[in-house]
Amino acid sequence: MSMAAAPSLHEADAWTLARPLLPAAVVLAASDPRAPQPPALPEERAALAHARPRRLREFDAGRAAARRAMAQLGVPPAPVLHGPDRAPVWPGGLAGTITHCDTACLAAVARAENFRALGLDLEDDNPLAPDLLATICTPSELDRLAAVPPGRRGQIAKLIFSAKEAAYKAQYPLSRTLFDFQTLEIELDAGGAGHFTARFLRAVAPFAAGSRLSGRYAIGGGRIVTAVVLAA
């Protein structure tokens, strides 16, 4: 009798941090990109013929996590293709999102009848580089960061970056529009309860200027996780 490998400490920690951010109807699976994983299907890897080994390991781990999540939904294994825009192409009837950092991959999957789109982002909890602040943060976000104690500004800026990544991933299946970090503005809840909103500063159809996406975040174990879920 074969036995599945036990999850690594890193993937278990990432899963534990992310799971409370998602509704029960969204399933979550994890993998470790440094550990051996089942190779991605040939049709999935077709777009990565010239990718570096590290990128292939991350890709395989992400697809392995995606198939574990699909199995939890009772969905037979199916390719999650790599679109020309590099976004995952989920099998019909599913909404999903994949994210990774150096030590863990996460995949969240749900039935499309319940959720229009999902966005999940996983980052190492190290400060955002100061030279990226003006690229990532809007003027209003920079003003709010100025009020944060200097020792925490880099971490909060990294959280803003991650929140924008999650919101972007959630909106993309609906808009199919690429845009820069200045298009969304993040507002973190004042009480530190793990909620944020991402506001569109300009129209990105079907989202009007001023539209807001609600999200959640968690910080722990040296990681930041952010999630945005758009219900059907």
List, as residue ranges, the binding site for CoA.
55, 63, 99-100, 121, 165, 169
Cβ-contact 158, 127 below 8 angstroms: yes
Cite the annotated binding site by residue number. 55, 63, 99-100, 121, 123, 165, 169
Contact 175, 205 (CB under 8 A): yes
Are 183 and 200 spatial neighbours (Cβ–Cβ below 8 Å)?
yes
Which residue, among 158, 227, 222, has the nearest Cα to 194 in the 3D structure? 227
- The whole-angstrom separation of Cα 79 and Cα 158 is 32
Give residue for tokens 């190779």.
39
User: Cα–Cα–Cα angle for 154, 156, 157, nearest 5°?
Assistant: 60
Helix H or strand E encompassing 17: helix 9-18
Token reading at 41: 């299907």
Here the tokens at position 68 are 């574990």
Enumerate the known binding-site residues for Mg(2+): 121, 123
